[in-house]
């Protein structure tokens, strides 16, 4: 046990707060896009890369059994997926 060791519960709480904060930071763009239905200023390829990256983080999180990674990436996959679907539909 080093001076920096933490209990697994504390580590999961740190991960959970991290997941909450970075997920919340996606909300304003998602809400703006969903309510205005305006996607002209959003880059299609940035969203495709991001969607792919988040999907891979989710797969990675499932394999290493990290609940903060799984939770955060399910929510952001849904948010980015919604923006991407609207971009593909409305251009």
**Segment near a copy of itself (CB under 8 A), from 31-39, 48-56, 82-90?**
48-56
| Structural contact between residues 58 and 74, judged by C-beta atoms closer than 8 angstroms | yes
Nearest approach, Cβ of residue 44 and a copy of itself (Å): 13
Extract the tokens encoding 91.
């251009």
Report in angstroms the alpha-carbon separations of 49 from 9, 17, 36, 88. Answer: 33, 25, 23, 14
| Structural contact between residues 58 and 66, judged by C-beta atoms closer than 8 angstroms | no
- Binding of a copy of itself by 54 (CB under 8 A): yes
Shorter beta-carbon distance to a copy of itself: residue 28 or 91:
28
| Binds a copy of itself (CB under 8 A): choice among 31, 34, 59, 74 | 59
| Structural contact between residues 76 and 25, judged by C-beta atoms closer than 8 angstroms | no
| Residue ranges that bind a copy of itself, judged by CB under 8 A | 6, 11, 14-15, 17-22, 24-25, 28, 43, 46, 49-50, 52-54, 56-57, 59-60, 63-64, 66, 68-69
């Amino acid at each position: 046990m080093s001076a920096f060791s933490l209990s697994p519960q504390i580590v999961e709480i740190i991960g959970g707060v991290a997941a909450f904060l970075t997920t919340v930071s996606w909300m304003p763009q998602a809400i703006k896009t969903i309510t205005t239905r305006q996607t002209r200023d959003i880059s299609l390829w940035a969203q495709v890369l991001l969607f792919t990256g988040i999907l891979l983080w989710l797969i990675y999180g499932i394999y290493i059994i990290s609940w903060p990674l799984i939770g955060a990436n399910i929510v952001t996959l849904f948010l980015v997926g919604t923006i991407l679907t609207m971009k593909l539909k409305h251009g």
